[in-house]
Structure 1
Amino acid sequence: MIRAERKNMIEFIEKVRGISRDQLAYMTDAEIEYIYELYYHYHEEIAE
């Protein structure tokens, strides 16, 4: 994962779930990606 992708994912997770940047900083790329995909798909379903 490139830095820009990780940054965008972290910003999305912060806004949607209210998880602090400090907590996210210690997570692996795989953990960030899992949380992002979980909540991104949840928001897509709501929007439809």
Structure 2
Amino acid sequence: MSRQERKNMVNFIEKMNGVESSQLKNMTDQEVEHIYNSIYSQLEHQE
């Protein structure tokens, strides 16, 4: 994953889930992507 992709995912997670970036900094790319996909999937099902 590129730095820009990770940055965008972290920004999305922070805004949608209230998670602080300091918590996400120590996570792997795969963990960040999993959280992102989980939130995005929940949003899709709400619509």
Band of TM-score, shorter chain: over 0.9
TM-score (norm 1): 0.91
TM-score (norm 2): 0.93
Shift of 1:46: 1.1
* TM-align CA RMSD: 0.6
Match of 2:38 in 1: 38
Q: Deviations over 1:1-48 (max 9, x none)?
A: 01111011000000111010100011000000000000001111112x
Where in structure 1 do 4 or more consecutive aligned residues deviate above 2 Å? none
Within 5 A, what are the aligned runs for 1:18-37? 18-37=18-37
The number of equivalent residue pairs is 47
Q: What residue ranges of structure 2 are gaps of 5+ in the alignment?
A: none
Q: What residue ranges of structure 1 are gaps of 5+ in the alignment?
A: none
Between the aligned residues of both structures, percent identity stands at 49
